[in-house]
A and B are shown apart, each in its own frame.
Chain A
Amino acid sequence: MEEEHPGKAGDPGEVSRYEFSGIEERHGKIPKWLACVYVALLIWMVYYLVRFWTDKG
């Protein structure tokens, strides 16, 4: 595997190359909108588990 370094290692733009397959991948980042989805779902999960752990009728 070869690595090209547009920035320092771990930068979102850093591209790694897999020599034998020719696949390249960026280190990348998590977009803000998706991070918001994660947080919203985790909050909902806690609420739902507490609210519906038992059948309150």
Chain B
Amino acid sequence: MSQEVASENRDDLVDRETVLRLLLSAAFWLVFAPTIGVILSIKFNYYDFLGNVSWLTWGRLRPVHVMGVIFGAFSTAIVGLTYYMVPKLCGVRMYKESWSRALFWIWNIGLTASLVSLPLGQNLGIEAGEFPWWSNIIIEIALIMITIQVLVTVIRRKEQRIYVTLWYLTAAYIWTVFNYAFGHFILPYSMPGVNNAAMHGLYIHYVVGLWITPAGLAVIYYFLPLAARRPLYSHKLSLVGFWSLAFFYPFVGTHHYIYSPIPYWTQTIAIVASMMLIIPVWTVLQNFYGTFVGSWKRFQESYTAKFLIIGALFYLIGCFQGSTEALRGMQRLTHFTDFVIAHSHLTVFGTFILWVTAGMYYVIPRVSGHELYSRTLAQWHYWLTVTGFSLMASVLTLQGLMQGTMLDVGADFVDSMVAMKPYWLIRTLAGATMDVGALLGMWNFYMTVMHGRRIEAPAGGPAPAEPLWT
């Protein structure tokens, strides 16, 4: 046990201040970007909400929500957690820590400027690649900097073996450096017509599958054994999960264009690859639940465990939805409906945002040296998030199936929209519930850092391994 305590507290390898700054800025984005989503959902109920001000219209705000969640909320948290996980997995401090401190400013200033410019009408017009060209240069530089830091730190590591978290993280950064350049510097300026659409399908799914997914899996693989206080179930399974994701995901993107002029065999490959993603998803989940068996009481004790497990449940549902909706029969029913929105929310928010939140519950008390400020706030954060999100995912899925069925039997499009009215209201209330939960959680993180009770180390011994309620 004493060895466990000592190794869990090798936080002398971590640049604590930079990690905290990045995680607190992520906490801001985690409230900001979903709030824009709630504002947008109100527009479904009251179309003239916010009037005719051009920069508050649906078309201007929607990219702020999407890009804010992907690059603000999720990615900022991943960058912060990277600076915690990589040094501890390598046994050396991060390469060029001065870059990390600079990167905090580059990343956040770049993001802020980009997200402000979107409502002002500067938009590249590529979904999930909408930031203006000048801000893409800033973000690409930041991505290259952290990729170099991660790679060199891994090369200089003292730990002999490379844990699965490092595979996922290094792969995610390398893939994204190239994909970001592809989506922002090549795609908007070349390949007109249907080829551009096909390539856009690939780009947008590389954002999801080669950035959000591997970076999110890196997080759960790191924190799950620590939260469960048990060894990871299977190294062998983690190999299968990683390589099957790397092999199948690159072909998935074109499934957005089933029944389009894109060659039929290309669509078939995308469908097959989407279904084959069941292999990495179920493999990863077997590894998670195998690790947790026998540790279920940690679900009651640890907020890290709570958010990881509930995120894993949404991962199972969301990914199964994603694989099956690629099939031609399901695509005919669900394309252009809210079923697709249910899938994207189940995966990006329900899974990956919840997993990085779990990581924040683990890291913030340890790095700040403060106990979690309030267990009550954490409880409210958890239950409002779970309740609100479960409701939202269910309603969106139901809406999608209803819309698809109505259109399939020849109902008028306007009638299919009118039928959605009560569901839109529920969706707004569910989103607002989640937002209140997020606000409480992020306030809790802020107060933990600023006013949390100092964790006292026993005389002559290492600091306690487990600050209260994390």
Contacting pair B269 A49 (CB below 8 A):
yes
Query: What CA separation (Å) do A30 and B238 show in the bound complex?
Result: 10
Q: Does B408 contact A (CB under 8 A)?
A: no
Contacting pair A20 B89 (CB below 8 A):
yes
Q: How many residues of A sit at the interface, in one of the four size bands?
A: 20 to 34
Option from A22, A24, A53 in Cβ contact (under 8 Å) with B265: A53
Contact with B along A14-57 (1 / 0, CB 8 A): 01101111111111111100100110010011001100111100
Which single residue of chain A is at the shortest CB-CB distance from B465?
A22
Contact with A along B202-244 (1 / 0, CB 8 A): 0000000000000000000010011000111111111010000
Contacting pair A20 B232 (CB below 8 A):
no
Contacts of B89 in A (CB 8 A): 18, 20-21, 23
Q: How many residues of B sit at the interface, in one of the four size bands?
A: 35 or more
Contacts of A16 in B (CB 8 A): 161, 235
Query: What CA separation (Å) do A19 and B163 show in the bound complex?
Result: 11
Which single residue of chain B is at the shortest CB-CB distance from A52?
B268
Contacts of A12 in B (CB 8 A): 234, 236
Contacts of B158 in A (CB 8 A): 20
Contacting pair A27 B276 (CB below 8 A):
no
Contacting pair A20 B265 (CB below 8 A):
no
Looking at chain A's contact residues, the main secondary structure is: loop
Query: What CA separation (Å) do A22 and B286 show in the bound complex?
Result: 22
Q: Tell me the minimal C-beta distance from A7 to chain B in angstroms.
A: 14
Query: How many residue-residue contacts, CB under 8 A, span A and B?
Result: 113
Option from A23, A29, A45, A54 in Cβ contact (under 8 Å) with B264: A54
Contacts of B225 in A (CB 8 A): 23-25
Contact with A along B274-298 (1 / 0, CB 8 A): 0110110011001100100000000
Which single residue of chain A is at the shortest CB-CB distance from B273?
A45
Given contacts A18-B163, A48-B272, contact A37 B235 (CB under 8 A): no
Contacting pair A20 B226 (CB below 8 A):
no
Residues of B at the A interface (CB closer than 8 Å) are 4, 7-8, 10, 13, 85, 87-91, 158-161, 163-164, 222, 225-226, 230-238, 240, 264-265, 268-269, 271-272, 275-276, 278-279, 282-283, 286-287, 290, 328
Extra contacts, 10 of them, besides A12-B234, A20-B87 (Cβ < 8 A), are: A1-B159, A19-B91, A21-B8, A23-B225, A24-B231, A26-B231, A27-B235, A28-B235, A53-B265, A53-B268
